[in-house]
Amino acid sequence: MKISIDIYGERFNKLNFETKVNDIIYIDRDGYDSLDCLSIENPCRVGIEYDLESYGEWYVKFIEKYYDEMIQAGVEEINLMINVFYSEQCNFEIFGREMMNRLGRFPIAYPVSVYQTSDAELEEIRSLHAKVK
C-alpha cells in the first residue's frame, strides 16, 4: 500500500509550507512542478502488510500536527491518495476505527486506486520501503 497526502490550492504557497514542516517526510516531486500542489509521503514510502497500523498512524499524526499550517499556507483541498497493490487476493483495511475517527475532524477526500500486479512487480514496490528511525 502506498499513501500520499496530496494538497492543493490556487493560493497555496508550498515553499512557505515546506519551511514549517520539521518532521522527516518524503516529497514526491514527480508530476508536481506547480507551486500550488504538493504530494507528501511517509518517509518509509510504502506500507508493508503487518505494519500498516504504524504506517497509517504517521499520516494521521502529520495531518493533526500540520492541518492549521496547511490552511494558513493556502491549501484548499486535501486528499489522502491510497494506492493498493496485490497479486493474488485483495483484502485491506485503510486506517482503523480510531484513526478514521480522528481523521473525520478534517475535510479530507480518500481516493483509492487498486492495482493487480505480478509477484515481481509487488517485490519491486516492497523494495521502496525504507527503514526510518
Gap between the Cα atoms of 81 and 113, Å rounded:
8
Least confident stretch, 3-7, 26-30, 92-96, 113-117: 26-30
pLDDT of residue 123: 82
The whole-angstrom separation of Cα 122 and Cα 86 is 7
The band of 112, judged by pLDDT with boundaries at 50, 70 and 90, is very high
Return d(Cα 76, Cα 58) in angstroms, integer.
22
Q: How confident is the model at residue 64 (pLDDT cuts 50, 70, 90)?
A: very high
- Residue position matching grid coordinates 527503514: 131
| Banded model confidence at residue 33, pLDDT cuts 50, 70, 90 | low
Confidence class for position 118, pLDDT limits 50, 70, 90: confident
Distance, in Å, from the CA atom of 22 to the CA atom of 20, rounded to the nearest integer, reads 6
How is the chain split into domains, by residue range? 2-126
Amino acid identity, residue 38? L
Q: What is the C-alpha to C-alpha distance for residues 110 and 61, in angstroms, rounded to an integer?
A: 16
Q: Which helix (H) or strand (E) holds 108?
A: strand 108-109
CB 73 within 8 A of CB 12: yes
Instruction: Give residue-wise pLDDT tens across range 6-17.
Output: 999 999 988 889
Q: What is the value of pTM for the model shown? A: 0.86
CA angle 116-28-101, nearest 5°? 70
| Matching residue, cell 517526510 | 25
Which tens digits make up the pLDDT trace of 86-99?
888 888 888 989 99
pLDDT at site 133: 45
The residue-averaged pLDDT of 58-81 equals 96
